[in-house]
Amino acid sequence: MAADNPDPGAAARRLMRSCGHAALATSLDGHPYVSLVASACEIDASPLLLLSDLAEHTKNLLADPLLSLLFDGTGEYPDRLAGSRLTLLGRAERVDDPRALARFAERHPASAGYAGFADFHLYRVAIERGHLVAGFGRIAWIEAEQLRFRGAASALARAEAEIVAQMNEGHADAIALYAERLLGRQGEGWRMTGIDPEGIDLRREGQVGRLDFAEPVTTPATARRTLVALAEEARSRVPPG
């Protein structure tokens, strides 16, 4: 990885957290089988997938849990190959975790309509390795310990739902400022869908936005101070246009 990006693990996590979908590669009797899936990330950036037992990729994973995910951040580039993309290698592990399921549903509200169906289950991807291509000459293999956020963030995870609810119910004006002045996104109705040690996720209808923190945040108190500081920063900026 080039010297201007000394932490490829952080760059890979930013990409995973900003993408709401990924290409999932599984094995169909030894043949590569690729499909499009909705994705979210755990607090430590481990990918979360909500899959139907009836889907071909789920049948493949039940036979062989090894998988690969492609996170594509190239959509806004005229030359798509100049953008960032991450190929993640890992193993699918079915989990019964209401907090993680709620995190996925916040990221993908439509999933709330079928998340409780008997044939849908949540899978967490146990990360093994990743291959990040961040543009010409900026290529690196990244090991699992670098791809996952390693700080102690259990307190933030426990408080996440409360923080998100408080922001959406009492501080919609701050969220609107984050979207408009820090992310350059227009339109009303932006909501916060999640907070993790490295940033917050926003959503407006089908649009999503990711706002990264300057420094990791691991406690509810620090998170609230950081959100206040971001709102103050947004207010100080001249509105776009």
DSSP assignment of the chain, as one string? --TT---HHHHHHHHHHH-SEEEEEEEETTEEEEEEEE-EE-TT--EEEEEETTSHHHHHHHH--EEEEEEEE-TT-SSGGGSEEEEEEEEEEEE--HHHHHHHHHH-GGGGGTTTSTTEEEEEEEEEEEEEE-STT-EEEEEHHHHS--S--HHHHHHHHHHHHHHHHH-HHHHHHIIIIIS---SS--EEEEEETTEEEEEETTEEEEEE-SS---SHHHHHHHHHHHHHHHHHSPPP-
CATH 2.30.110.10 domain span(s) along the chain: 8-147
For the domain bounded by 8-147, which CATH number is listed? 2.30.110.10
pLDDT (0 to 100) of residue 240:
64
Q: Tell me the pTM.
A: 0.92
Tens place of pLDDT per residue across the chain (241 aa): 433 446 999 999 999 999 999 999 999 999 999 999 999 999 999 999 999 999 999 999 999 999 999 999 988 878 888 789 999 999 999 999 999 999 999 999 999 888 889 999 999 999 999 999 987 778 999 999 999 999 999 999 999 999 999 999 999 999 999 999 999 998 899 999 999 999 999 999 888 999 999 999 999 999 999 999 999 999 998 776 5
Where do you find CATH 3.20.180.10 in the chain?
A: 154-236
For domain 154-236, give the CATH superfamily: PNP-oxidase-like (3.20.180.10)
Q: Please report the pLDDT score of residue 83 as a whole number.
A: 85
**pLDDT at residue number 2:** 38
Residue 74: the pLDDT is: 87
Task: Give the Cα separation of 206 and 191 in Å (integer).
Answer: 12
The answer to whether the CB of 227 falls within 8 A of the CB of 235 is no
